[in-house]
């Protein structure tokens, strides 16, 4: 009888699909973090992607969901947004009746107050967005192409360093031409 090689039984469980999805969604987890959470090696996670398509799809859904939440928050921060701030104010007995129409009455003469506030756009977030979405228009680094030749028609535009380099090149050419007639 031939010996069959048997590996250790897999630690994978179908319940890991939903657990992995939620962990990645809530934590924005990397494969390494997911592996620690599930008590396996990162290489095991990568093997499970190949072997268990439902697991792979669950992790991808969780990571995509987390990325979408971050992208939405970043977009809101870049463009500005309104939000409701909820506070509770203590009201004396006489002003209690005035408080009822405008807000919800809380226990022991506290009222819930909701104020809509505006967070203006953040210039840094907006610039980061534009640099990534429209790099040709917004990137910091502008690339120049050089032909290796200098246009000598207008020497007034050249810096002192460029003029000195040009002078050295011309003298070298003159010396070379007179040495080798």
pLDDT tens string 157-174: 778 888 888 888 878 888
Angle, helix 53-79 to helix 42-51, in steps of 10 degrees? 110
pLDDT tens string 43-83: 999 999 999 999 999 999 999 999 899 899 989 999 999 99
| Domain extents in the chain | 12-79
The model carries a pTM of 0.52
**Residues 40, 53: Cα–Cα separation, whole Å:** 18
């Amino acid at each position: 009888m031939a010996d069959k090689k048997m590996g250790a039984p897999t630690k994978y469980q179908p319940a890991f699909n939903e657990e992995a999805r939620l962990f990645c969604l809530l934590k924005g987890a990397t494969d390494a973090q997911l592996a620690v959470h599930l008590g396996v090696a990162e290489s095991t996670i990568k093997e499970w992607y190949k072997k268990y398509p439902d697991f792979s799809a669950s992790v991808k859904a969780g990571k995509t969901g987390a990325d979408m939440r971050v992208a939405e928050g970043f977009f809101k921060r870049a463009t500005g947004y309104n939000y409701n701030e909820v506070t509770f104010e203590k009201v004396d007995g006489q002003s209690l009746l005035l408080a009822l129409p405008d807000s919800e009455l809380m226990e022991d003469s506290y009222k819930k107050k909701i104020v809509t506030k505006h967070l203006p756009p953040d210039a840094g977030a907006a610039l980061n967005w534009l640099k990534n979405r429209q790099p040709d228009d917004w990137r910091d680094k502008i690339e120049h192409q050089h032909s290796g030749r200098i246009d000598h028609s207008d020497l007034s535009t050249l810096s002192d360093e460029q003029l000195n380099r040009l002078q050295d090149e011309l003298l070298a050419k003159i010396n070379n031409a007179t040495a080798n007639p």
